[in-house]
């Protein structure tokens, strides 16, 4: 909260001071991201170096990652932001709704240099993260060996936390029910497959605490509200490295996802926004984020620039890629709304 307040205050104060002077003297770029440890890492890795290099003033805003706020900006014709970070599934939704612009990759970087699925029409990937399982080593006597252990209430009794969304949870439910990773989305595309996934989730429903913001899983573990939780790997790793928490990560059966950055329709500083995208896509630059939060770059040719001590902590480290699933963006674009409704109906039962 304090950070939000401070950012809001600084933003207000700066607009109050800057606007009467006119914005002619220095170019400005406004980026909106989802806050927390992640945005702090973005600031150190990319925002501040870019502002210095391009000699611009870079303003930051925070939001919850939901497109409603951007849609409201676009519909009222008042778009005070130039760049916004979004999740992969949200990019597709924003693209369809005409909220995000279709990117001109000739102004960014060669599209083929990006990992498959990270250079989308309306959004370009900025990092690779993993949906993993996390637990407190002082609480669990026996260490879980796979994310799917979250479904095992016999070996691991107690409350467990999962993200309040159908994405990832349905995939894990099917895998825990014996579906091979390669067939997960094929099975999930059929009504019987969806029933099967929900039936599996039913078996642990009364033990689930649902989280919504990425900062919640470390909190839930720290307050001992749950014995294990699904989480984004970076949030837990930072709690281990910086707050010295006795947490551990389980990588087996992780789901690999990408964070994206996009330009909202009606952005005022379009050229500067593209300049930023081109800068952050440079191999050496794109590897910098790993120094501040263990998320990997979205270009294979950036890996040599990732600091050695960070590599084993990344979702793409060889040790972590023994069993994994890549989230299917197209599937969630198609079935997302329906499955969210079904998920909400299931929660309400």
Partner 1 sequence: MTSVAMPAFSVRGRDRSESLRPLALAAPLLLLLVFSFGAPIVALLSRAVYEPTIANALPRTAEALRADGGAGVPAEPVFVALAADLKQAQAAGAVFELAKNLNTRLPGARSQVLRAARLASQNQAASKEAMIKAAPLLGEQQSWAAIRSGVHPFTSFFLLNAFDLKWTNDGTIGAVPSGQAVFLRVFGRTFLVATIVTLATLALGFPLAYLITRLRPAMAALVLVLVLLPFWTSILVRTAAWTVLLQKYGLLNDLLLWLGLTSDRLELMYSRTGLIIAMTHIQLPFTLLPIYSVMRSVPPSLMRAAQSLGARPFTAFWRVYLPQVIPGVLAGCLLTFILCLGYYITPVLIGGASDQLISNFIANYVNAELNWEMAAALSFVLLASTLGLYVAMTRYLGLDLFKMG
Query: Nearest Cα to 140, choosing from 159, 121, 114?
Result: 159
Tell me the three state secondary structure of residue 211. strand
The footprint of partner 1 on residues 161-190 (CB under 8 A) is: 164
Contact pick of 93, 146, 237, 288 for partner 1 (by CB under 8 A)? 93
Q: What angle do CA 11, 76, 61 make, to 5 degrees?
A: 25
The total number of residues written for the chain in this structure: 349
Q: Which helix (H) or strand (E) is 28 found in, with range?
A: strand 28-33
Name the phi and psi angles at 85, rounded to 5: -90, 140
Q: Which is nearer to partner 1, 53 or 205 (CB)?
A: 205
Least CB distance from residue 304 to partner 1, whole Å? 37
Residue 280 Cβ, how far from partner 1 at the closest point, in Å?
A: 26
Contact between residue 207 and residue 156 where contact means Cβ atoms under 8 Å apart: no
Structure tokens at 329: 């963006």
- For partner 1, which residue of 212, 243, 271, 301 counts as binding (CB under 8 A)? 212
Rounded to whole angstroms, the Cα distance separating 267 from 309 reads 38
Q: Which stretch binds partner 1 (CB under 8 A): 77-85, 105-113, 171-179, 341-349?
A: 341-349
Structure tokens at 123: 């959004």
DSSP state of 137: T
Choice between 48 and 330, CB closer to partner 1: 330
Segment contacting partner 1 (CB under 8 A): 9-17, 21-29, 205-213, 294-302? 205-213
Q: How far is the CB of 143 from partner 1 (least distance, A)?
A: 22
Residues 304-333 as x/- pattern, contact with partner 1 by CB under 8 A: --------------------------x--x
Q: Of 124, 136, 93, whose CA–CA distance to 248 is shortest?
A: 136
Q: Which of 29, 32, 41, 67 binds partner 1 (CB under 8 A)?
A: 67
Using the contact rule CB under 8 A, the part of the chain among 8-16, 60-68, 142-150, 288-296 near partner 1 is 60-68
What are the distances in angstroms from CA 336 to CA 65, 119, 293, 302, 341?
A: 16, 21, 29, 32, 9
**How many chain residues are in contact with partner 1, going by CB under 8 A?**
37
Binding residue for partner 1 (CB under 8 A) from 3, 210, 271, 312?
210
The helix/strand/coil state of 179 is coil
Strand 124-136 to strand 28-33: parallel, antiparallel, or no bridges (unpaired)? unpaired
Stretch that binds partner 1, among 67-75, 145-153, 179-187, 316-324 (CB under 8 A): 67-75
Q: Contact region for partner 1 (CB under 8 A) — 2-10, 12-20, 47-55, 65-73?
A: 65-73
Helix, strand, coil percentages, rounded to 5, for the chain: 50, 20, 35
Residue 140 sits in the site that holds partner 1 (CB under 8 A): no
| Rg from Cα positions in the chain | 20
Smallest distance, partner 1 to C-beta of residue 47, A: 25
Answer yes or no: are the C-beta atoms of 68 and 40 closer than 8 Å. Answer: no
Among positions 19, 223, 309, 318, the unique one binding partner 1 when judged by CB under 8 A: 223
Answer for which of 10, 48, 98, 307 binds partner 1 (CB under 8 A) is 98
Residues in the site for partner 1, rule: CB under 8 A? 64, 66-69, 71, 93, 95-99, 159, 164, 198, 208-210, 212, 223-225, 330, 333-335, 337-338, 340-342, 344-349
């Amino acid at each position: 909260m304090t950070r939000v307040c401070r950012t809001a205050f600084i933003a207000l104060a700066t607009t109050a001071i800057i606007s009467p002077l006119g914005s002619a003297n220095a170019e400005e770029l406004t980026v909106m991201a989802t806050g927390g440890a992640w945005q702090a890492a973005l600031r150190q890795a990319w925002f501040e170096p870019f502002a210095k290099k391009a000699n611009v003033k870079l303003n930051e805003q925070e939001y919850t990652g939901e497109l409603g706020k951007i849609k409201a900006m676009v519909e009222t014709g008042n778009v005070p932001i130039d760049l916004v970070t979004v999740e992969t599934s949200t990019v597709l939704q924003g693209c369809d709704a005409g909220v995000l612009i279709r990117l001109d990759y000739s102004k960014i970087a060669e599209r083929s240099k990006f990992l498959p699925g990270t250079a989308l029409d309306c959004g370009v990937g900025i990092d690779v993260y993993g949906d993993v399982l996390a637990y407190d080593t002082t609480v669990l006597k026996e260490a879980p060996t796979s994310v799917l252990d979250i479904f095992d209430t016999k070996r691991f009794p107690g409350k467990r936390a999962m993200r309040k969304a159908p994405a990832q949870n349905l995939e894990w439910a099917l895998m825990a029910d014996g579906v091979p990773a390669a067939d997960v989305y094929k099975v999930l595309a059929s009504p019987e497959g969806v029933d099967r996934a929900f039936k599996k989730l039913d078996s642990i429903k009364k033990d689930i605490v649902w989280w919504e913001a990425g900062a919640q899983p470390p909190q839930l573990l720290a307050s001992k509200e749950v014995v294990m939780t699904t989480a984004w790997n970076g949030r837990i790793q930072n709690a281990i490295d910086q707050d010295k928490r006795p947490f551990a990560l389980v990588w087996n059966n992780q789901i690999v996802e990408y964070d994206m950055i996009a330009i909202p329709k009606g952005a005022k500083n379009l050229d500067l926004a593209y300049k930023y995208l081109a800068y952050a896509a440079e191999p050496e630059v794109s590897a910098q984020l790993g120094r501040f939060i263990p998320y990997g770059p979205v270009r294979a040719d950036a890996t040599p620039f990732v600091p050695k001590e960070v590599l084993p902590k990344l979702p793409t480290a060889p040790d972590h890629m023994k069993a994994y699933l890549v989230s299917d963006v197209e599937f969630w674009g198609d079935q997302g709304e329906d499955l969210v409704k079904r998920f909400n109906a299931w929660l309400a039962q």
